[in-house]
Structure 1
Amino acid sequence: MTTTKIPITTITFPEIALRVRDAHKLRGYFGRLFQEHSPLLHNHFDDTATDGQRYRYAYPLVQYKVLKKTPTLVGLGEGAELLVQLFLQIKEIKLDGILYPVQSKHIRHEQVSIGLSDDLHTYRYDTLWLGLNQKNHRAYQQATEAEQATILKNTAVANILTFVEAFGLKLDKEIPEHRIMLKLRTTDPAITKFKNVEFMGFGGQFTTNVRLPNDIGLGKQAARGFGTISLMD
């Protein structure tokens, strides 16, 4: 199977204006507020290991973003149904001691197609894409310009695979009909800091033969709003 349909729910708070970097605060607030409902909201499991924490290492099914200054929650799959259930319970948002009454909120719930397509689609990164991890960051720093482009392209393809595989699609790269095509065009790298750790992020766009939903995140820290994409064509 190379295509499927998944539910996606998007909740926005149009009367509240925040900064892009406040996305992780949204995640912390809602994760605490509804922590008894599901680990999907904060990527922590309820039981603890010897270190006191267990994490859900998988594509995040609930994501927190600030898009065009608007606080935005995106749920996919199980996360989509969860946000529908919690929608009416959201009466306020409290960040850094500031209480934001929720005067209005919008919800969109739909089924979207994902997976390989006969057409090409172009997406832009609306928030910084964290395209490098510790390992390939070192390789990137030492690489030629052409090698750097290859590293980023391979990472972008891997990000897409991670997303589609989270919803049961298995693409065998040995089968020509399963091959993900991708052309990536990035801006110059920018340094962003999260939890006192510096990350190298990129803007830009990519064209691919994979159909992806608007406003999902790809790459590192997708749950906190990084790597959010939208369709350009």
Structure 2
Amino acid sequence: MTLKTLVLILNTDRPVKELASKLRGYIAIRFKQYPILHHHIEEAGYLYTYPRIQYKQIEGTPLVLGIEEGADILKKISDEIAELKLGKSVYKVKSIQMTQMNAEFGPCRENNHYKFVTPWLALNPANYERYKWISDWREKKEFLNGILAGNILSMCKGLDYVVDRKLYVHSRLDDEKVEYKGVPLIGFTGEFRVNFRIPEFFGLGKGVSQGFGVVKAY
């Protein structure tokens, strides 16, 4: 399967300090005529369980990913983004780098190598309790590998794609404290291998639309 994707990299006059949630808020209000930009399902009349627009902030650079119809909307609005008002900060957009492609998506024979460039929010309240009580590191690793495979399958379901084979995940992850919607959580960074093609900058886990769990080929 191929997916139409568009990556919009916004080169600003200085590094952006604010989180991707601020970028999401600004773009959504600035272009409120497009409900897909803020994922307000009630207004749009459809349900996307996997966001077609995803906002990222990677090492001070703001980035927006559009998938399928999301890519078309991003292309429409790109010329109108001259500045970013993020909280109390205003950034001038000096240039915009736009990359559109038909990205390969789906299971494959070989193991592909990826890394999380932003923390992956793997744990909900229920599986956090389970994770906390696992003392053996191998068992913890297998537990996280299972969640990661599940996140990939959830992404597929949200993109109306049926996976017809088992996914095998191998990971090397480190945990770190993060904050999501004002709540302290555990996030994970590191690398993993899986027999699946994931396009650049796609997100996995919780908080995908706000820049968590961003994946890049390693």
Could you say which TM-score interval applies, normalised by the shorter chain?
Answer: over 0.9
Partner amino acid for 1:205? E
Q: Secondary structure at the match of 1:203?
A: strand
Partner of 2:83: 92
TM-score after normalising by structure 2: 0.92
Partner of 1:135: 126
Which of residues 166, 170, 176 in structure 2 aligns to 1:179?
166
Q: Answer yes or no: is the 8 Å Cα contact 1:129–1:226 preserved in 2.
A: yes
**Structure-1-length-normalised TM-score:** 0.86
Q: What is the CA-CA distance between 1:61 and the residue it aligns to?
A: 1.1
- For 1:92 and 1:56, the matched residues in 2 are separated by 30
What whole-Å deviation, never above 9, does each CA across 1:155-188 have from its counterpart, x for those lacking one?
100111122223322124xxxxx1111111111x
How far apart in 1 are the matches of 2:25 and 2:109? 40
Q: Does residue 197 of structure 1 match 2:195?
A: no
Please give the secondary structure, in 2, of the residue aligned with 1:105. Answer: strand
CA–CA distance in 1 between the matches of 2:29 and 2:183?
Answer: 23
Aligned to 1:159: 151
Aligned runs of 1:48-87 on 2, under 5 Å? 56=47, 58-87=49-78
Query: How has the CA–CA distance of structure 1 residues 142 and 156 changed in structure 2, closer, same or farther, with 3 Å as cutoff?
Result: same
Please give the per-residue CA displacement for 1:204-233, whole angstroms capped at 9, x wherever unaligned. 11101101111111111011111101101x
Structure 2, unmatched stretches of 5+, are: none
Alignment gaps of 5+ in structure 1: 49-53, 173-177
* Structure 2 match to 1:175: none
Determine the structure 1 residue equivalent to 2:106: 115
Aligned partner of 2:197 in structure 1 is: 211
More strand by share: 2
> Is the alpha carbon distance of 1:95 and 1:62 closer, same or farther for their aligned partners in structure 2, counting shifts above 3 Å?
same
Deviation at 1:56, TM superposition (A): 4.9
Aligned residues between the structures: 216
1:9 matched to 2:6? The reply is yes
The percent of aligned pairs where both chains have the same amino acid is 29
Superposition CA RMSD, Å: 1.9
